Amino acid sequence: MGILIDGKWHAGEIDTKKTGGRFIKKDSQFRNWITKDGSAGPTGSSGFKAQAGRYHLYVSLACPWANRTLIVRTLKGLEELVSISIVSPYLLDNGWSFDSFKKVTADPVIGAKYLYPLYTHVDPHYSGSVTVPVLYDLVEDKIINNESSEIIRIFNTAFDDLGAKPGNYYPEELQKEIDEMNDLIYPNVNLGVYKAGFATSQTVYEREVKRIFTVLDQLEEHLADHDYLVGDRLTEADIHLFTTLIRFDSVYYGHFKCNIKQIVNYPNLWRYTRKIYHLPAIKETIDFEHIKHHYYGSHKKINPNGIIPLGPDLDLSL
């Protein structure tokens, strides 16, 4: 792991001593938007017009946040419009890297060995976390956005005039309900597993893990008579939840001690997870080898020996 401070890399694992044992995710700093006509989005400045071949996406196949962007990129048919680079699953002293591993692809911008030099290439005095996903402008030679929730909304609308597949995963008539569902899922489930997993206080851990399962219980009840979280079709809210659920039994249950119940023990949530997994374009974005190697191989304080478990053997068939 590590962090950049005034353009200088500082290695080290997440330190929660100053926060009373709590894990706090820092806000993303690059917040420009790509739009159909190059006008400004909800945040940032204007000038980033949707164009084929202009933009590049850096992702980890292990990371649930990056997985969101891969899913929407594929659902919208942007494979030929937005190129990608895949980092190694291991997040070690030098952060995300392009070290050799199955499916890893090189950095096309500066040929970086690690991801952090890309950040300092754009801003020599950058201070903050070096995260994926990263949406990069190959023409302007700068980072557009590194906030996954915004990148998926960019992909949802910006490229529709360039041959993207039809489909709106944040339709206007459902936006209020989607936002409400996201506000429930993000702090309590998406981020909740990290709050539990990186907690260094028993009190903090117990509070966070109980909160996760309180919300999972609510979602289980909701899905008893719903195929999707909002409306009768796949939306952004489902994508947000799915990337955590698909990782839950393989890594969060054991590695992050979120072990009150497995998702397979929730009939409705497990049915829902398998249904989304088998939707066109979703399954190909999931790589359990990257997922397990990342979590069990990167967090040395949690798993000092770096042993990668063989299981669980999940039956994802419908």
Residues marked active site are found at: 63, 194
Side chain identity at residue 209, one-letter code:
V
Side chain identity at residue 94, one-letter code:
N
Computed from CA positions of residues 265, 267, 273, 275, in that sequence, does the dihedral angle turn out positive or negative?
A: positive
**Token pair of 191 as six digits:** 């981020």
User: Which strands form 134-137's sheet, in the order they lie side by side?
Assistant: 82-86, 55-59, 134-137, 142-145
Q: CA nearest 67: which of 173, 4, 149, 168?
A: 149
Three-state SS string over 12-55 comes to: CCCCCHHHCCCCCCCCCCCECCCECCCCCCCCCCCCCECCCCCE
Question: CB atoms < 10 A from the CB of 42, how many?
Answer: 8
**Token pair of 209 as six digits:** 């893990």
Q: CA nearest 277: which of 249, 310, 307?
A: 249
Rg value, the chain, Cα: 19
The three-point CA angle 99-104-109 to 5° equals 80
d(CA 314, CA 33) in angstroms, rounded, equals: 38
